[in-house]
Amino acid sequence: MALHQYIRDIQDFPKPGILFKDITPLLGNPNAVKECLDLLLLNLRGQKIDKVVGAESRGFFFATLMAQELGAGFVPVRKPGKLPYETFSAAYELEYGTDNLEVHTDAIMPGERVVIHDDVLATGGTAKALCELVEKLGGEIVQCNFTMELSFLNGRDKLAPYAVYAPLVY
Q: Counting every residue, how long is the chain?
A: 170
Which residue, among 75, 107, 102, 76, has the nearest Cα to 91 in the 3D structure? 102
Average pLDDT score over residue span 150-154: 95
Max distance between CA atoms of the chain, in angstroms, equals: 44
Consecutive H or E run containing 74: strand 73-77
Q: Is residue 130 part of a domain?
A: yes
Q: Is residue 39 part of a domain?
A: no
Examine the residue annotation and report whether 86 is marked as an active-site residue of this protein: no
Average pLDDT score over residue span 96-121: 94
Q: Is residue 114 part of a domain?
A: yes
Q: How many domains does the chain have?
A: 1
Q: Is residue 75 part of a domain?
A: yes
For 129-150, the pLDDT digits (tens) are 999 999 999 999 999 999 999 9
Examine the residue annotation and report whether 102 is marked as an active-site residue of this protein: no
Q: Is residue 40 part of a domain?
A: no
Q: Is residue 65 part of a domain?
A: yes
CATH of the domain at 143: 3.40.50.2020
pTM: 0.94
Residue 72's domain comprises 47-169
For 36-72, the pLDDT digits (tens) are 999 999 999 999 999 999 999 999 999 999 999 999 9
Q: What angle do CA 52, 62, 51 make, to 5 degrees?
A: 10
Q: Is residue 85 part of a domain?
A: yes
The catalytic position among 45, 69, 95, 112 is: 95
Q: Is residue 133 part of a domain?
A: yes
Query: How far is residue 119's CA from residue 55's CA, in Å, rounded to a whole number?
Result: 8
The catalytic position among 35, 45, 58, 135 is: 58
